[in-house]
């Protein structure tokens, strides 16, 4: 895999010019050509799972391989907030603004309650343990959708090696009110990052089987969401190169912002490359946040980065942020 030029990694707190590449003229409405990429934290091993906490103006992420939960805010910079961290990977917000977690360690979905305690929501399907939930998103009806590839039970630095009990690696839908877990799709070899289109008629899911199989997939699949419950008509939306589409988000106009080895690729709903943000470390994921919702936070290997954008994110987390802004007046 071609790797980014790590000699270009700036010191924590410093910014890089020239990170933004524009391929389509209209993309300047999404991100300014002159936007600077700022390195907010460093010193980690494998940063993933960024979630913006609008009520606190803070960004939380997982260092999966160091088994730490990290937290950054303008006021307090970067710090460890939870260690060990149950090998947590993906995080997101539910409609009430609570943080949901994918734990490789307990092979479950968990939630942090307002008093700070963490409770498990689901860890089994048909009586068998999940593989290792990786990434997670909440739909506007409150259902929780997550991916369950095997990395936490096959990669010793991401969890604990163990036999796979499930028949495959599924995209799951969990209804927390009914406690019901169902398979939304079994069509992807190693489902990883996922995000709904702005109107929730589509779900984008990355397949990262190339992470453990040189001939494996490194693309994003798009599905039709049927009756808000299951996924049909999978088709390849974009082959990602270099590297993998580990995590991805959709902006309010429907464009996909996906990680790749060399940074963030911005892709139109038609699959056209609009812009790229070059990041000097292998990039895993991103999330929209910031006071106005127009700042993209990027997790990449040892670091957290941020860059201002001209659009905000779509979905439940963006709605929670909007409410927080409204409450602040």
Nearest approach, Cβ of residue 244 and Mg ion (Å): 9
For the segment 246-305, give every residue that binds Mg ion (CB under 5 A). Answer: 246
Contact present, 238 and 204 (Cβ < 8 Å):
no
User: What is the closest distance, in whole angstroms, from the C-beta atom of residue 206 to Mg ion in the complex?
Assistant: 8
DSSP for 173-189, please give it.
Answer: EEETTTTEEEEEE---S
**Pairwise CA distance, residues 325 & 274, whole Å:** 29
Going residue by residue from 229 to 248, which x/- string records binding to Mg ion, judged by CB under 5 A?
-----------------x--
Span between the terminal Cα atoms of the chain, in Å? 47
Specify whether the CB–CB gap between 306 and 50 falls below 8 A.
Answer: no
Q: Which residues share a beta bridge with 302?
A: none
Q: Which of these ranges, 7-15, 79-87, 186-194, 271-279, lies near Mg ion under the rule CB under 5 A?
A: 186-194
Question: Smallest distance from the beta carbon of 164 to Mg ion, in angstroms?
Answer: 18
Q: Which is nearer to Mg ion, 35 or 248 (CB)?
A: 248
Which residues are within 8 A (CB) of 328 and not within 5 positions of it... i.e. 6 or more apart? none
Size of the site for Mg ion (CB under 5 A): 4
| Rounded least distance, CB 33 to Mg ion, Å | 29
Buried-state track 300-317, b at ≥16 Cβ within 10 A, e below 16: bbbbbbbbbbebbbbbbb
Q: Which is nearer to Mg ion, 151 or 174 (CB)?
A: 151
Contact segment (CB under 5 A) with Mg ion among 160-168, 189-197, 235-243, 306-314 equals 189-197
Q: Which residue, 211, 223, 290, 218, is CA-closest to 258?
A: 218
Question: To the nearest whole angstrom, how small is the minimum distance from the Cβ of residue 148 to Mg ion?
Answer: 11
**Interface residues for Mg ion in 144-163 (CB under 5 A)?**
none
Task: Round to whole Å and give the CA distance between 219 and 221.
Answer: 7
**Of the two residues 148 and 251, which places its CB atom closer to Mg ion in the complex?**
148
Query: How near is the Cβ of 147 to Mg ion at its closest, in Å?
Result: 8
Nearer to Mg ion, 27 or 159 (CB): 159
- Using the minimum distance from each CB to Mg ion, give the nearer residue, 135 or 281: 135
DSSP 242: S
Q: Are 289 and 270 in contact (CB under 8 A)?
A: no
Assigned token pair, 314: 């779509």
Q: Which is nearer to Mg ion, 148 or 246 (CB)?
A: 246
Query: Least CB distance from residue 64 to Mg ion, whole Å?
Result: 9
Interface stretch with Mg ion, choices 53-61, 72-80, 133-141, 309-317 (CB under 5 A): 133-141
Among 91, 192, 209, 302, binds Mg ion (CB under 5 A): 192
Instruction: Work out which of 63, 103, 135, 148 binds Mg ion, going by CB under 5 A.
Output: 135
Closest contact distance (angstroms) between CB of 87 and Mg ion is 13
* Strands ordered across the beta sheet of 88-93: 88-93, 99-103, 108-112, 118-122
Cβ 284 vs Cβ 240: under 8 Å: no
Q: Which is nearer to Mg ion, 246 or 281 (CB)?
A: 246
Nearer to Mg ion, 247 or 313 (CB): 247
- For residues 85 and 313, what is the distance between their CA atoms, to the nearest angstrom? 27
| 134 binding Mg ion? (CB under 5 A) | yes
Binding site for Mg ion (CB under 5 A): 134-135, 192, 246
């Amino acid at each position: 895999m071609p790797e980014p030029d790590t000699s270009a990694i700036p010191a924590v707190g410093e910014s890089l010019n020239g990170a933004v590449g524009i391929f389509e003229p209209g993309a300047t409405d999404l991100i300014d050509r002159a936007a600077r990429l700022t390195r907010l934290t460093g010193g980690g091993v494998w940063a993933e799972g960024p979630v913006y906490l609008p009520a606190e103006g803070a960004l939380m992420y997982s260092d999966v391989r160091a088994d730490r939960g990290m937290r950054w805010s303008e006021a307090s910079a970067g710090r460890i907030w939870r260690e060990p961290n149950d090998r947590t990977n993906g995080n997101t917000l539910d409609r009430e603004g609570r943080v949901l977690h994918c734990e490789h360690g307990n092979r479950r979905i968990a939630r942090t309650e307002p008093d700070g305690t963490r409770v498990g929501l689901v860890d089994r399907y048909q009586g068998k343990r999940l593989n290792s939930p990786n990434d997670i998103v909440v739909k506007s009806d409150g259902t929780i959708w997550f991916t369950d590839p095997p990395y936490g039970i096959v990669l010793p630095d991401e969890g604990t090696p163990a036999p796979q009990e499930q028949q495959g690696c599924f995209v799951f839908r969990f209804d927390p009110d009914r406690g019901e877990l169902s398979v939304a799709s079994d069509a992807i070899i190693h489902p990883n990052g996922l995000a709904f289109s702005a109107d929730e008629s589509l779900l984008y899911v990355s397949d990262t089987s190339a992470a453990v199989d040189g001939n494996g997939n490194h693309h994003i699949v798009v599905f039709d969401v049927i009756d808000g419950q299951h996924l049909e008509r999978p088709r390849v939306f974009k082959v990602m190169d270099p590297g993998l589409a580990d995590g991805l988000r959709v902006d309010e106009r429907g464009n996909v912002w996906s990680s790749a080895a060399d940074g963030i690729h911005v892709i139109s709903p038609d699959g056209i490359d609009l812009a790229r943000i070059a990041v000097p470390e292998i990039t895993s994921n991103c999330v929209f946040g910031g006071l106005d919702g127009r700042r993209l936070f990027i997790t990449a290997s040892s670091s957290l980065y941020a860059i201002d954008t001209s659009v905000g994110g779509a979905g439940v987390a963006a709605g929670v942020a909007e409410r927080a802004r409204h409450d602040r007046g």
